[in-house]
Chains A and B, each alone.
Chain A
Amino acid sequence: EPEVTQTPSHQVTQMGQEVILRCVPISNHLYFYWYRQILGQKVEFLVSFYNNEISEKSEIFDDQFSVERPDGSNFTLKIRSTKLEDSAMYFCASRPGQVNTGELFFGEGSRLTVL
């Protein structure tokens, strides 16, 4: 069964460093998302991406964050200068383009620890 894959599964970084989290969405999907879950808290929406541009972003997604689809398969989340509060599990998700298919398919997540 097709799945969303994410790398790395866990990354430890120093505060102020840049981090890139990578995702390979399901191949025929057209909409891509990043969510995050701080330990013990709710899953929170960060950003949605369609047709090579951001379609919506949350207040969390400030100038330190960026997303990119550099080729036909990868979808990346970059955090330019990490802060302690960026420590979280980051989930990538994708869905097909059909309007009536509302399910989001989530990856296994990338755990980011900022020291």
Chain B
Amino acid sequence: EDKVVQSPLSLVVHEGDTVTLNCSYEVTNFRSLLWYKQEKKAPTFLFMLTSSGIEKKSGRLSSILDKKELFSILNITATQTGDSAVYLCAGRSTDSWGKLQFGAGTQVVVTP
């Protein structure tokens, strides 16, 4: 059975800190891994990773995929209170583009 496991489940940091979120996956016929940010309701897209070792970057956020070790990390540098959210990772197989297998999420709280 496919599964996606995120760690830690939650963390509290101070503004300006750097956080690293982990996502390990076991997805049959793996195609890509996606990261979403869920603040209150709708998950909003952050990154999609398909190739190993290629970092994707957007502002203070970056992510990388290791297809050999079956994990991904999401880094947030110089955190701000607006980064407080649940961060979700999801695996996708080649068999199904729309069926994402989500992890439980990591709740990040950034305190002033």
Identify the A interface with B (CB < 8 A): 4, 31, 33, 35, 41-45, 48, 55-56, 58, 89, 91, 93, 95, 99, 102-109
**Across the interface, do B44 and A56 meet the contact criterion of CB distance under 8 Å?**
no
B41 in complex: contacting residue of A58, A89, A95, A102, CB < 8 Å: A89
> Given A56-B96, A102-B32, A102-B92, A43–B42 Cβ distance below 8 Å?
no
Given pairs A99-B97, A106-B36, A106-B43, 15 additional interface contacts (CB within 8 A): A4-B42, A43-B88, A45-B98, A45-B99, A48-B96, A56-B98, A56-B99, A89-B41, A95-B97, A95-B98, A102-B32, A102-B97, A103-B45, A104-B98, A107-B42
**Across the interface, do A31 and B102 meet the contact criterion of CB distance under 8 Å?**
no
> Given A42-B103, A43-B88, A106–B42 Cβ distance below 8 Å?
yes
Number of residue pairs across A and B with beta carbons under 8 Å? 58
The 9 closest A-B pairs by CB, nearest first: A48-B98, A43-B102, A106-B42, A108-B41, A109-B41, A108-B42, A45-B99, A103-B45, A106-B43
A31, closest chain B residue (CB)? B98
Bound Cα distance from A31 to B96, whole angstroms: 12
Bound Cα distance from A42 to B101, whole angstroms: 9
**Across the interface, do A104 and B100 meet the contact criterion of CB distance under 8 Å?**
yes
Most buried by B among A4, A93, A102, A109: A102
Most buried by B among A41, A93, A103: A103
Residues of A within 8 A of B36 (CB): 106
B95, closest chain A residue (CB)? A56
CB distance from A101 to the nearest CB of B (A): 9
Residues of A within 8 A of B45 (CB): 103-105
Chain B 54-75: CB-based contact to A (< 8 A → 1; otherwise 0): 0000000000000000000000
Chain B 7-47: CB-based contact to A (< 8 A → 1; otherwise 0): 00000000000000000000000011010100001111100
A-B contact pairs, 16 of them (CB 8 A): A42-B102, A43-B102, A55-B98, A56-B96, A56-B98, A56-B99, A89-B41, A93-B98, A95-B98, A99-B97, A102-B31, A102-B34, A102-B48, A103-B48, A106-B43, A108-B42
